[in-house]
Structure 1
Amino acid sequence: MEGEGRSGGPPGPAPQPPLHPAVAPLSFLLGRWRGEGEGGFPTINSFRYGEEIQFSHSGKPVIAYSQKTWKLASGEPMHSESGYWRPKPDGAIEVVLAQSTGIVEVQKGTYDAEKKIIKLKSELVGNASKVKEITRVFEVTNGELSYIVQMATLLTTLQPHLKATLAKL
């Protein structure tokens, strides 16, 4: 029968909206990335983890970000966070993140679209009893996304905390 199976079901995937000009310089981030990382801090034991990050856009001048990690041996969920990245035409960027631990971050920084580097520093770390500052540096080199996260607490100065390398899926 003509038209059979075309009504009553869920719609197909929506077409991807056009890339907003503000997002275009960071389009190299868009997509899903997966890999492994390692963490540590003077006050905790070192650990390794699996990770997936997704960057997406809706046609607006913002990139949606979501991240999740898991224990490599068991697959048990660890940390997750999500938020929005707002690149500005002058190379500045604003990021807001909510972490599964209840911490929220407002970060500001810069991006270099040609070198594919984003540098962020916390303006605010909210709802954190001990964390006072977080920096993040993301870089895409040879098709891999790597990052380094540093953290300062009430008891420590800025120290390396996390680093990972991910490949685009």
Structure 2
Amino acid sequence: MDRNAVGGAPVAETAPPVHPAIAPLSFLLGKWKGEGEGGFPTINSFKYGEELNFSHSGKPVIAYTQRTWKLASGEPMHAESGYWRLKPDGSIEVVIAQSTGIVEVQKGTFHTANKTVKLQSELVGNASKVKEITRVFEVADSNLSYVVQMATYLNNLQPHLKALLKKI
């Protein structure tokens, strides 16, 4: 919030209009919060709290941030951020930088009527073990759910994370 010049009272910032290029994904825009669970053959199963934020500045790109924490203690676990861009051919490109140092370049598809996005990694950079990541997002009944699958050099593609979030 900005403070106006008269009296210093808070003034709510208004979001710019959604750029027409990202309008098909406007169902994602906003803050989402909830819980998820994860696992993989090489790690113990775990549960976490999460907040996702899909925002825009009026330009033809969606900014994405994510953070997770341990449910019991609130201790931070993971964070990532990136950008989502729709292509003229109807596909989507996503770049994500993770707090672990891994960088993902993903391409995929979206379906506005079904409110779904499916992403497949084209590149997983700076990862000594991870070779592939897929992400599927879906908005239904005012909830955002997702499933992340991962493959390593020792394990084929399989479920890693899933969460259910509500818009806040």
Give TM class, smaller chain.
over 0.9
Match of 1:92 in 2: 91
Match of 1:112 in 2: 111
Q: Contact 1:53–1:67 (CA<8 Å) still a contact in 2? A: yes
Rounded to whole Å, the distance in 1 between the matches of 2:22 and 2:12 is 22
Match of 1:136 in 2: 135
5+ unaligned residues in a row in structure 1: which ranges? none
TM-score computed with the length of structure 2 as normaliser: 0.93
Rounded to whole Å, the distance in 2 between the matches of 1:90 and 1:143 is 28
After TM superposition, give the deviation of residue 39 of structure 1 in Å.
0.1
Structure with higher Rg: it is 1
Relative distance call for 1:10 and 1:105 in structure 2 (3 A) is: farther
Rounded to whole Å, the distance in 2 between the matches of 1:90 and 1:45 is 41
Query: Residue by residue, what CA displacement relative to the aligned partner does 1:58-111 show, whole Å, maximum 9, x if unpaired?
Result: 111100000000000000000000000002244310000000000000000000
Rounded to whole Å, the distance in 1 between the matches of 2:121 and 2:6 is 49
5+ unaligned residues in a row in structure 2: which ranges? none
In structure 2, give the amino acid aligned to 1:37. G
Task: Establish whether residue 76 from structure 1 lines up as the match of residue 75 from structure 2.
Answer: yes
In structure 2, give the amino acid aligned to 1:113. T
Match of 2:59 in 1: 60
Rounded to whole Å, the distance in 2 between the matches of 1:74 and 1:63 is 31
Q: Contact 1:91–1:112 (CA<8 Å) still a contact in 2? A: no
Rounded to whole Å, the distance in 1 between the matches of 2:158 and 2:91 is 24
* Superposed CA RMSD: 1.6
Q: Contact 1:91–1:110 (CA<8 Å) still a contact in 2? A: yes
Match of 1:155 in 2: 154
Q: Contact 1:66–1:83 (CA<8 Å) still a contact in 2? A: yes
After TM superposition, give the deviation of residue 11 of structure 1 in Å.
7.7
Match of 1:50 in 2: 49
In structure 1, give the amino acid aligned to 2:38. G
TM-score computed with the length of structure 1 as normaliser: 0.93
The count of corresponding residues between Structure 1 and Structure 2 is 165
Match of 1:27 in 2: 26
